[in-house]
Structure 1
């Protein structure tokens, strides 16, 4: 790239490239498009499968056919039974006779017929129609031709198949990961790439992980070409197959892609689809790789049975062997610890970017994004702003007197805690005259941690502050106080019965009344197996006091937060010099109270000119589908929560925050709305059998009613709405890229955008769509600054934290906000992966000398930049999309009470947090992980952090 290619400015380099006809070249795929009659036959087959399995959520097992076709054609087969446009695509032509036989077997096997009795000369009508449907050969380039002022109209099959040949091209040349080292890449059947021959291993050996790269095609608003996104990750390999959901397998033969295969069955008994095995056997095809998976599964299931028997007899259970996986590489389930960390690192991604541009040369047209001129709000924990002169004076003083203990840092950092004055101003704006924080505890250490945190946050001398049970502790005059009450019967793990009486017995003033706003800060712990033995027959989840007590607080209208007093082994936490868990718990309690201090008002100050973002309400709507788990029935539940930042009536006043939920559909102050939501169970289905479209139309209608009520609450104050694109685009067609420039009535849903059915005066002025999904948002790798001087070289920079505007071909642009994780760039961070890849990770060094010791790098997590895509859609005249993009970025940068960025802007983050804090929100480990832990088979542990507790 030369300086003449770009206008002066700072540009973002990402793993995103325009998918042009030149990029795909002469690539072709073979597609069969099935008509309505064929789809109806498939739908009949699907209903028969549901009836056979007595499960309304069961689907016709088409993986039987696709697994067989993948094996017989060398890979790359995709079947989509979607009613709107069902198709079967493949990289190689599929023989009609083979297709008829395969679907004949799949049909009868799925319905329970013995494979040996299936008559292949008498196919069902469905198999005949599949085989008789003409196969079309398409050039991908034909469907990538651009149109003037229009989004791509590429068919669905292109998005599913475009990566097949591109990944093969990327694998033809070795990947340079340093000046002297290359890595071989191999394509897999998903259209991705795997460094299969160069796995990462732990220092002790026996555990493995692979570098995997995915290629995904998506659209971006008002960009004429579809965009190819590359993402790379660490895929960790399990020592057991039977607990894995998927596996990678090396197929026999030359130039075959690695086979990614889904494993069937329940945890502890997973294996290859046995019906696919039977079908391949009947067709007399080579299925040695699938047979190897099945044989390994049977051997591991036998080992599991032996382990269970040994445990029952009090003997040491056998373990899965730690050895090279060989032909079959089971992928480790999620939520597990592992001796190889997550994340490939920034240098890995930069080398991947370089590899793509090297292989495709001038055909690799990068997506362009230019930095936006804006000022990010100064956060309390940022280093203080000082002049250059002051900085030089302090530096000179430090050099003259180099004792750091006396001088401190050159630029001091502030405290994350809000000032008492701002806390009370927010409490007063909510209509109260006093804030009381009731601290409920049962271990002295936890009480002292709470007290110490109060002292630090309110700048109090701890001498003599410890109070007797129930005595009031003044934190800020009579305006903010705390009370400590010992409540073991209420807080300790155990059954739910009797907790309300136990709370009442403490005498704690737990209701908000008489002008006093009350919040509860409680001790908690994760129940252990010892607790389970005490209460035999009750699951650990049902013994956890936190969701039980939170539900009680919800009934009382009291916001609550929790602090773990001991770990899973019963060891009492001994905090370090800075008790981060306690500090974050208190700050999260402020968030639950809806407290907004002056940092939010500062973040909402508009730029010098533009749209008055400080005079409008900012609304966030969180939507989540909670799928059924084992033992649950009915259709999936849709959870909707919302929050609104409301500007003060007078300039310089205090912002307030409202909350709303679908279980308590009324706008209330956030400190009432969250407990009200937590007091109610997640919404139950009505029992009506509704289609997918009807369920999401109903959810959109619920939001319409909420916004109609909000306009009454705001009394003329204009507002904007922010939604998560990934969760919401199934509700509102107007959010979708392909619908930009369209109008209501063009889509499939009843609702175009949030609020479109309301009167013009009641509609939001804009809807802001934000997307943080790593597979849909361009992955940043570096920046390049171009300057005006002719002889000046572009300046490269490894990371970025600012906002970039995507260059569009027409219409309004999207913006990309770059984030650098704290673990990569914070105090004491090693910036692992910034200069080399995991293949050059440094080993640990053990030494008697502290300065010579080194922690091994392979087990640690290597972080990369993340990005958020921000796309404002103006719904009224005079709205500035750029001003709203900048404001959204500011509300991510300046979170409510956190010294880092949040991925969602404050209104959406607060709405989502209502859901995450709900007593029914599931954080438990998957059943198969629990089983492996109990048997001592696998070194996996369920993920759980202090913040989650």
Structure 2
């Protein structure tokens, strides 16, 4: 239960605690503030490394020094050589002479000097400067004392090091339940690992660890920093040579678990030989790193033998021993099939909260967040409203018949066909034709079934011939099917346009017909294209090739996966992937049905500032990192949408689109199509600094808003952006700048639209954030009744909560219960117990006794979206904007559940994610990240 409840109401319980001097206590770090001269010397070192390696994005390999120093000091070291405040911090003192030698070796090895040729008596200026910088003992509590009315102003090294001591305080026995106590060990990142009690799959031999991360963050208008606690499942690989990170138990007592980045690739990853050489030259104990290197060498020999035995034309069979790790725990590098699922589950988080409150006692002060009254729009898929009497009748009937049918049914995920037809007519078209392109009959039947369900048609006898147009709704919406195996086949782009000719009649927009293409696809494999290398498969993928062709014809497209790694997909009922693909096709067509108008009906207390009367604009900003072999600068992609309200009741909302490739506002469908038929924009104007690149993006967006003002013709608007990508452009979005003046900024622009004239600026900027480690993680809620001593507790909530701030405007958190957790057949894994008590599979001839293992399943937890309205004029009602943002997350265009982003921003994100150059194999959300800065090694 949340502490410090004041008034009756519903309060959110989170793993977020004020980080006060009392919480930190007498924790110290040893700090060297390196200063501007050291930063300049390091920048020169960076340039020398870039010249040597022929790579203008290469960095000086400071991980050599941090790895060596971590081994020498027991683990806790953080080195930040660049930025406005370069520093070196550690939890133990570092001898000046030893430090000078470490950086002398780092410098020499990076320059290509052999280890035995580096003269430790002649240190470079950089190494000497770092060693000469005085080391001071710093009490962390002194740097987080709150100042009334201001955001925390602690230096960066405080945020990087404060978790070290907090993790030590929380380490030790953790009582998960009666009879089960799990030891928690600290790690060098400032987190906790349950290394002594790994989770194991039913068959044995595969392992995963519970890891808890402690991060110090700021929350808008909270005077103290906030400790955010998150939990994840770290799955352990049976091989080291394919991992990017390894966890290692250091020799000696009271040392944290070491986390080390590995180097190399292609089945040859190992510990940095530079670090090994440096430690060997220093004659220090580096047995833990040597053990990692020895294991890597053994695995590489096994791999080489397997390849030699298989021969050139056969794939080698390579199996590594699956014994429980002891000292070395390689982290699984990707989210690949694994017999232990992701996610810790809700109960895990709640007992973790109890452990934190029990260990830290009154020093741990949770944030207070109180529920905001909000009427959520009723969605077509929400459970039907049934009286108690009818519920009782259905329950009796179900028990009598043995039926498992839900007591409350759900409607279709789709809007009313009349609403879709009205949007088509409002866009100036005579009708909508859905052209279904397929190459497997199973996928064709799925498309037919989804269309029949959407438009209330009988599937019996519904079997259109190739090219036959069938009526779906009153002659305004039709569909036509074409076998398009050649057009959709993976391979060379040559001849693909010609292969589309048999479907030309269906794709003809003559007579004012709006065309949407629904296409089959699957991710290409070596089996599809024998002879190609795995790295070449992405370029042979038919999906981006065919999407580009359709976009050039101004045809919106959406793809349905017909096959996966398990073979041809046999969907469950309902076929959610097909239904959601069809809904997303409507989004690509720019169709805004009546669900949006219903979602934004203003509440009485917000009537003076109705969110249904303003335009909702979303800007999505993303940097596309370079692929291997690319030498250009990273590409910055910007897409935007404007959701414009109806001019009169009953009218249709409009959706405009914009991109930095085609910088003009137009209806969403042609805006997206033109964006998809062009390549991502390249950086122009020569080589630019980090600040100049992001200022240029700000300039482009300011012009886009200037152009939008003319389109809106005086209608007020708000702009929504994601904090993670946008704060690099606008200083006014950053927590540290709240309450500051615009003239204190480093960026060229303060906020989106701020440079425009007063009457052209947006009413407000809505900053949203979904990062799990920066938004208070929800775990439960507590309802305080009229009597202060009377409380009730709940496990999940989907309400909107206002965080009690110390000053200025509030910030809200929208809680989300994942559909997979809350669904009728989900089982709500992790709701009542942790993975240590996961039920194992039971195989039995008796159907009632059979049980599926819970260990391989994902265990879901609540998520949260932070909503922070920043007003740009006096007429803004902050709560109305927070509620409207939450409503537009609750009612999406493309999905039957909630989205983490509101409609306008999500539609802009989908524009980018549908681009042919967007990587289809993009990293998934639950993929492990090691975050290490690896040196380039020869």
**TM-score of the pair, normalised by structure 2:** 0.95
Counterpart pick for 1:605 among 601, 604, 608: 601
Partner of 1:880 in structure 2? 877
Correspondence for 2:457: 460
Aligned to 1:484: 481
* 1:376-525 correspondence to structure 2 within 5 Å: 376-386=376-386, 390-396=387-393, 399=396, 410-525=407-522
Match of 2:497, SS state, is helix
Q: Is the 8 A contact 1:248 1:261 kept in 2?
A: yes
Alignment check: 8 A CA contact 1:8 1:786 kept: yes
The CA distance in 1 between the partners of 2:3 and 2:16, in whole Å, is: 20
The corresponding residue for 2:144 is 144
User: Greater shift after overlay, 702-711 or 535-544?
Assistant: 535-544
> Partners in 2 of 1:904 and 1:508 — Cα distance?
38
Matched residues in 1 for 2:202 and 2:427: separation?
Answer: 57
What does residue 247 of structure 1 align with? 246
3-state SS, counterpart of residue 377 of structure 1: coil
Please state if 1:757 is matched with 2:758. no
Residue number in structure 2 paired with 1:371: 371
Tell me, yes or no, if structure 1 residue 583 matches structure 2 residue 579: yes
* Partner residue in 2 for 1:48: 48
Which residue pairs with 2:868 in the alignment?
871
The alpha carbon displacement at 1:461 in A equals 2.2
- The answer to whether the aligner puts 1:259 opposite 2:246 as a matched pair is no
Take 2:315 and 2:700, find their aligned partners in 1: how far apart are those partners? Answer: 57
The partner residue of 1:826 within 820, 823, 827 is 823
Residue 177 of structure 2 aligns to a residue in which SS?
coil
Report how far residue 162 of structure 1 moved: 0.3
Could you tell me how far 1:665 is from its partner in structure 2? Answer: 1.0
For residues 537 and 401 of structure 1, the distance between their equivalents in structure 2, rounded to whole angstroms, comes to 53
CA contact (8 A) 1:621 1:643 kept: yes
2:936 match: none
Partners of 2:819 and 2:709 lie apart in 1 by: 39
Contact 1:306 1:318 in 2 (8 A): no
Structure-2 change in CA distance of 1:768 and 1:513 (3 Å)? farther
Q: 2:767 aligns with which of 750, 766, 769?
A: 769
Q: CA deviation at 1:531?
A: 2.6
Distance apart, 1:851 and its partner CA = 1.0
Residue 234 of structure 1 corresponds to 233
Partner of 2:690: 692
Q: Deviations over 1:12-71 (max 9, x none)?
A: 110000000000001111111112222111111111111111111110111111111111
Equivalent of 2:889 in 892, 901, 917: 892
Comparing 405-414 and 219-228, the one that deviates more:
405-414
Deviation track 1:730-777 (CA, whole Å, cap 9, x = no partner) reads 111000000001122212110111111111111111100110011111
CA spacing shift, 1:416–1:926, aligned 2, 3 Å: closer
**CA-CA distance at 1:556 after TM superposition:** 0.8
1:934-949 equivalent positions in 2, closer than 5 A: none
Partner of 1:287: 286
Q: What is the number of residues matched between the two proteins?
A: 922
CA separation of 1:175/1:537 partners in 2, compared to 1, >3 Å: closer, same or farther?
A: closer
Partner Cα distance (1:393, 1:119) in 2: 87
Q: Is contact 1:370-1:806 (8 Å) kept? A: yes
Within 5 Å, give how 1:577-656 maps onto structure 2. 577-610=573-606, 611-656=609-654
Residue 294 of structure 2 aligns to a residue in which SS?
Answer: helix
* TM-aligned CA distance change 1:403 to 1:655, over 3 Å: farther
8 Å Cα contact 2:439-2:483 kept in structure 1 = yes
Please say if residues 829 and 860 of structure 2, whose CA atoms lie closer than 8 Å, have aligned partners that are also in contact.
yes
> How far 1:123 sits from its partner (Å)?
0.9
Find the residue that maps to 2:529 and give its secondary structure: helix
CA contact (8 A) 1:249 1:258 kept: yes
- For residues 363 and 180 of structure 1, what CA distance do their matches in structure 2 show? 28
Write the distance in 2 (CA, Å) between the matches of 1:537 and 1:782: 45
| 1:844 counterpart = 2:841 | yes
Task: Call closer, same or farther: CA 1:701–1:513 in 2, change over 3 Å.
Answer: farther
What per-residue deviation string (whole Å, max 9, x for no partner) do you get for residues 94-135 of structure 1? 111111111111111111111111111111111111111111
Greater shift after overlay, 808-817 or 668-677?
Answer: 668-677
* Local SS of the residue matching 1:205: coil
Instruction: Measure the CA separation in 1 of the matches of 2:689 and 2:474.
Output: 58
Alignment match, 1:718: 716
Q: Deviations over 1:377-400 (max 9, x none)?
A: 1111111234xxx33145236526
Distance between the aligned counterparts of 1:16 and 1:904, measured in 2?
Answer: 22
* Alignment partners' CA distance in 2, 1:582 and 1:534: 32
1:18–1:228 Cα contact (<8 Å) kept? yes
Alignment of 1:164 onto 2:160: no
> C-alpha offsets along residues 210-260 of structure 1, whole Å, 9 cap, x if unaligned?
111110001000000000001111101111111111111111111111111
Say whether the 8 Å CA contact 2:244–2:331 is kept in structure 1.
yes
Measured at CA, do residues 652 and 507 of structure 1 come closer, stay the same or move farther in structure 2, by a change above 3 Å?
closer
Kept in 1: contact 2:3–2:365 (CA 8 A): no
Gaps of 5+ in 2: 925-938
Question: Do structure 1's residue 901 and structure 2's residue 892 form an aligned pair?
Answer: no
Q: 1:780–1:311: structure 2 CA closer, same or farther, 3 Å change rule? A: same
Please name the residue that 1:356 is paired with. Answer: 356
CA distance in 1, matches of 2:328, 2:289: 9
Asked if 2 retains the 8 angstrom alpha-carbon contact of 1:465 and 1:473, the reply is no
8 Å CA contact 2:38, 2:81 repeated in 1: no
- Give the C-alpha shift of residue 580 in structure 1: 2.5
- Which of 798, 803, 812 lines up with 2:800 in the alignment? 803
Which residue of structure 2 lines up, in the alignment, with residue 317 of structure 1? 317
Using a 3 Å threshold, how does the CA distance of structure 1 residues 780 and 575 change in structure 2: closer, same or farther?
Answer: closer
- 2:353 and 2:403 map into 1 onto residues whose CA distance is 47
Q: 1:563 & 1:14 partners in 2: Cα distance?
A: 38
Classify the secondary structure of the residue corresponding to 1:800: coil
Query: 1:835 and 1:37 mapped to 2: Cα distance?
Result: 56
CA–CA separation in structure 2 for the residues paired with 1:284 and 1:397: 77
Q: CA deviation at 1:508?
A: 3.0
**Equivalent-residue separation in structure 1 for 2:654 and 2:2 (angstroms):** 50
Alignment of 1:113-152 (within 5 A): 113-152=113-152
Compute the displacement of 1:916 (Å).
0.9
- Contact 2:26 2:139 (C-alpha < 8 Å) held by counterparts: yes
Aligned residues: CA RMSD = 2.0
Deviation for aligned residue 1:537: 10
